[in-house]
Structure 1
Amino acid sequence: MNSSPTYDDPGVYRTLLESTKAIPWKIDWASMRFTYIGPQIETLLGWRQDSWQTVNDWADRIHESDRQKTVDFCVAQSMQGVDHEADYQALTRDGDLVWIRDVVHVKRHPDGSVDCLVGFMFDITERKAAEDKILQLQKELETMSYRDALTGIANRRMFDRILDVEWSKARACGEPLSLVMLDIDFFKQYNDSFGHPQGDLCLQQVAGLLDDTASRTRDLCARLGGEEFVMLLPATNAEAAHAIAARFARLLARAAIPHRNSRVDDVLTVSIGVGTIVPGGQDAPEAFIELVDRRLYRAKGEGRKRIVASGD
């Protein structure tokens, strides 16, 4: 005679449930009391199986940062008879945190009223850690995509993006927006003289000095490419923008980076174009950039090592 248990034996189901890592539970809706929770809960969270008496025990063991929103969500979904899932941080008896995914099924009476809630708790701590790592890496990659790999300051992509934002703000507020564009004088000759590794170091030094000059929160310094750099200066009038450009030129002169093949000095110098605008409805940032770029090339054409801040 076959003495093996039949599949309608409650003991079979309990054995199956309690041999899995998922933690089964059941709550009576009328009394809001646990009628069952798997013994695995003690292994996972440290709380004794018989300490899970009411839904308040469940709520109190959710970390305070997740507690209210989790309880509100689960209650609302349950009242509507909607099966649902909730991720939250649970407190262990020792005060540590474990990420839980609660999968909830709402069982109803024939008249449609809620009878009980049954569900499973899953430990998703490792999954959450992996997801957080992926998000962190994605943010790092995004940050890298907006940074110049050599100098560490913003790149052209970041400059274009921030310019659009600051342009719109300046137009809405009627504020001046200034741009300082600069190009290292005779940089090809610098590379030919000192070599590309030293040329890279030179670009990094210039970027560092720019970063020191554009020191306000909303100021942005960026490398546009090659030896060309820019400072975007929100809420900065023409006089202040010229002063900032001149301050950078003084910092560069003080740094005294040797340049024996320069035709204008024995140290590194730059040519600078400066422009200021209060954007109107008909103005375009591209035209403003072109204006400042023309001033930069006028500075180069007029002998380099100078600032041009007026004219077309």
Structure 2
Amino acid sequence: MEVDSNVYQTLLESTKAIPWKIDWKSMRFSYIGPQIQDLLGWSADSWIGVEDWANRMHPDDRDRVVNFCVAQSQNGVDHEADYRALTSNGSYVWIRDVVHVKRNGSGEVESLVGFMFDITERKQNEEQLLALQKELETLSFRDGLTGVANRRMFDAVFSKEWTAAQHSGEPLSLVLLDIDFFKQYNDRYGHIRGDDCLKRVAQALDGAGKRPHDFFARYGGEEFVMVLPQTDAAAARQMAERCRILVLSERIAHEDAVGSKVLSISLGAGTITPGSSDAPDTFFHLVDQRLYAAKMQGRNRVVFTDAVAQP
């Protein structure tokens, strides 16, 4: 059964998709659906050639999309392209062009036919999803209680800075610290006060006058860690001592602390210029031993180690 061409045109023009056709040799539109005016505000008869299509595209998308579509069309390959199309009022709408390449009997490209689809809502949903994913990713690297970076983030940063120090030959310092008598603090004041205590300590130390590339995180429980790139032993000692004094200056009452009635911290610190045979886990364990030594020596103090890189 033959169908009148007017029927085809009526069907095409009743859809939300916008049909179009371009003659390959002249690069001019031989047809574009009147729906284009409803979507973009430009009348159908204003779409003369591919220049109108290209010029009504967001400048940031133009080169990428035009070069891609021309290359695919020259090779006779059907393709799709997403871009932002300019409306007559100066705003932009996301468009997906689905393109079919028609060849003549000799196999030469004769024309391009396709459909434009309004995908603005889809793109907005995708952008919202990406923003949500970024937010979740950020949250996954943050400690839920204190708001500072967490153990997962520390592992990533420490590994990166270790590799950087190996390549640059610059010293890398690490400070581990632990709240003194924290179990006794929770036993006396309760876990809600204990959580508030952790938050106060984290906030005080996160603002300890660090340089932009220094890093602070909650390692776990009442233990925190600082990574200090390009920091020699003297500067690392100063930073550790500054942290100890900062916590004391918070004057957090702790009636069950031995020898003092305010909250304090113990710290282990170390500096290394890592060589190719050094391992970050070994260095971390060494600094952790110095933290343990600070606890054993009476707490509220810094114990430091100079780690010597292996040749």
Q: How has the CA–CA distance of structure 1 residues 254 and 102 changed in structure 2, closer, same or farther, with 3 Å as cutoff?
A: same
Q: How has the CA–CA distance of structure 1 residues 7 and 223 changed in structure 2, closer, same or farther, with 3 Å as cutoff?
A: farther
List, as ranges, runs of 4+ consecutive aligned residues in structure 1 with deviation greater than 2 Å: none
**Is 1:217 matched with 2:212?**
yes
Whether the aligned pair in 1 keeps the contact of 2:102 and 2:110 (CA below 8 Å) is yes
Q: Report the CA distance between 1:310 and its aligned residue.
A: 2.7
Which one-letter code corresponds to 1:304 in the other structure? R
1:155 aligns to what? 150
For normalisation by structure 1, the TM-score amounts to: 0.96
Q: Distance in 1 between matches of 2:259 and 2:62?
A: 68
1:267 aligns to what? 262
Q: Report the CA distance between 1:7 and its aligned residue.
A: 4.4
Q: Distance in 1 between matches of 2:66 and 2:256?
A: 72
1:188 aligns to what? 183
Whether the aligned pair in 1 keeps the contact of 2:165 and 2:229 (CA below 8 Å) is yes
**Is 1:226 matched with 2:221?**
yes
Between 1:106-115 and 1:224-233, the stretch displaced more is 106-115
Q: Distance in 1 between matches of 2:59 and 2:259?
A: 66
Which one-letter code corresponds to 2:95 in the other structure? I
Whether the aligned pair in 2 keeps the contact of 1:264 and 1:304 (CA below 8 Å) is no
Percent identity over the alignment is 61
Whether the aligned pair in 1 keeps the contact of 2:198 and 2:222 (CA below 8 Å) is yes
Which one-letter code corresponds to 1:117 in the other structure? L
Kindly provide the CA deviation profile for residues 12-37 of structure 1, in whole angstroms up to 9, marking residues without a partner as x: 11111111110000011111111110
**Is 1:208 matched with 2:179?**
no
Give the one of 29, 32, 38 matched to 1:34.
29
Q: How has the CA–CA distance of structure 1 residues 276 and 269 changed in structure 2, closer, same or farther, with 3 Å as cutoff?
A: same
Give the one of 47, 51, 63 matched to 1:56.
51
Whether the aligned pair in 1 keeps the contact of 2:165 and 2:172 (CA below 8 Å) is yes
Kindly provide the CA deviation profile for residues 67-97 of structure 1, in whole angstroms up to 9, marking residues without a partner as x: 1111111111111111100000111111111
Q: How has the CA–CA distance of structure 1 residues 247 and 7 changed in structure 2, closer, same or farther, with 3 Å as cutoff?
A: farther
Q: How has the CA–CA distance of structure 1 residues 220 and 16 changed in structure 2, closer, same or farther, with 3 Å as cutoff?
A: same
Between 1:49-58 and 1:251-260, the stretch displaced more is 251-260
Q: Which runs of 5+ in 1 are unaligned?
A: 1-5
Which one-letter code corresponds to 1:86 in the other structure? A
Between 1:287-296 and 1:154-163, the stretch displaced more is 154-163
Q: Which runs of 5+ in 2 are unaligned?
A: none
Q: Report the CA distance between 1:124 and its aligned residue.
A: 0.5
Aligned residues: 307
Which one-letter code corresponds to 1:44 in the other structure? L
1:3 aligns to what? none
For normalisation by structure 2, the TM-score amounts to: 0.96
Equivalence map 1:68-83=2 (5 Å):
68-83=63-78
Q: Report the CA distance between 1:219 and its aligned residue.
A: 1.1
Q: Report the CA distance between 1:155 and its aligned residue.
A: 0.9
Q: Distance in 2 between matches of 1:154 and 1:308?
A: 24
Equivalence map 1:268-287=2 (5 Å):
268-287=263-282
Q: Distance in 2 between matches of 1:31 and 1:137?
A: 46
2:40 aligns to what? 45
Which one-letter code corresponds to 1:119 in the other structure? G
Give the one of 123, 126, 142 matched to 1:128.
123
2:83 aligns to what? 88
Whether the aligned pair in 2 keeps the contact of 1:233 and 1:241 (CA below 8 Å) is yes
SS in 2 for 1:112: coil
